[in-house]
Amino acid sequence: MAMVLSTCLAAPAWAQGAGQPGPTLLVLGDSLSAEYGLKRGSGWVELLRQRLAQDKRAATVVNASISGDTSSGGRSRLPALLKQHRPSVVLIELGGNDALRGLPLAMTEDNLRAMAQASREAGARVLILGMQMPPNYGAQHGQKFAALFAQVARDTRSALVPFFLKGVADLPDPTRLFQADRIHPNEEAQQRMLDNVWPELKKLLK
């Protein structure tokens, strides 16, 4: 969720397993998925690739995440990514930067809905990774923000991870699982993030 924007707009951070049979998984996210502040190859998307290999699931993982990206940025980038990679599954991990920037909730919801619908129309199954806002933004606003991910998932018949950072950001003392900026999860947290995604993703791979 960093405000550091990459200069590489549409190129994936990496594409593992190109040329292999099996589904293509497209991860469209922000710094939480782009290994911001982490050693290269230690983020949850790379751990996902490793888990797929361990399970002997032939798949291509395309990480099209950009630090600082918003739901509007993801929406603008998605059509080209769908055309280029023709994914079987699209994982949408966006919206956190919208919240940090105080962007309208209705705009975030509309962008997420448009991305999910476009992915489904392209023949992909969709998994939405839900987020929550820090409590200092106000309880009511935070509840509305968290609820919009579930609403979009229902409206677009997409799968949902209710809170991508469960077991990371909601601990009594979550600071040990975050980098010094207290915004970005550290390397230790990446496995928990994958564990939050995997049960729902696995259903889409059957």
pTM of the shown model: 0.89
Q: Does CATH place domain 14-204 in 3.40.50.1110?
A: yes
Q: What is the pLDDT of residue 172?
A: 87
pLDDT exceeds cutoff 70 at 16? no
pLDDT exceeds cutoff 80 at 165? yes
Q: What is the pLDDT of residues 84-98, one digit of tens each?
A: 999 999 999 999 999
Cα separation, 131 vs 94, in Å, equals: 8
110 flagged as catalytic: no
Cα separation, 130 vs 145, in Å, equals: 9
Q: Could you tell me the end-to-end alpha-carbon distance of the chain, in angstroms, rounded to an integer?
A: 31
pLDDT exceeds cutoff 90 at 18? no
pLDDT exceeds cutoff 90 at 193? yes
31, 65, 67, 119: which is the annotated catalytic residue? Answer: 31
Q: pLDDT tier at 13 (50, 70, 90 boundaries)?
A: very low
55, 173, 184, 195: which is the annotated catalytic residue? Answer: 184
Domain-wise residue ranges, the chain: 14-204
How far is CA 99 from each of CA 47, 67, 150, rounded to the nearest angstrom? 27, 15, 16
181 flagged as catalytic: yes
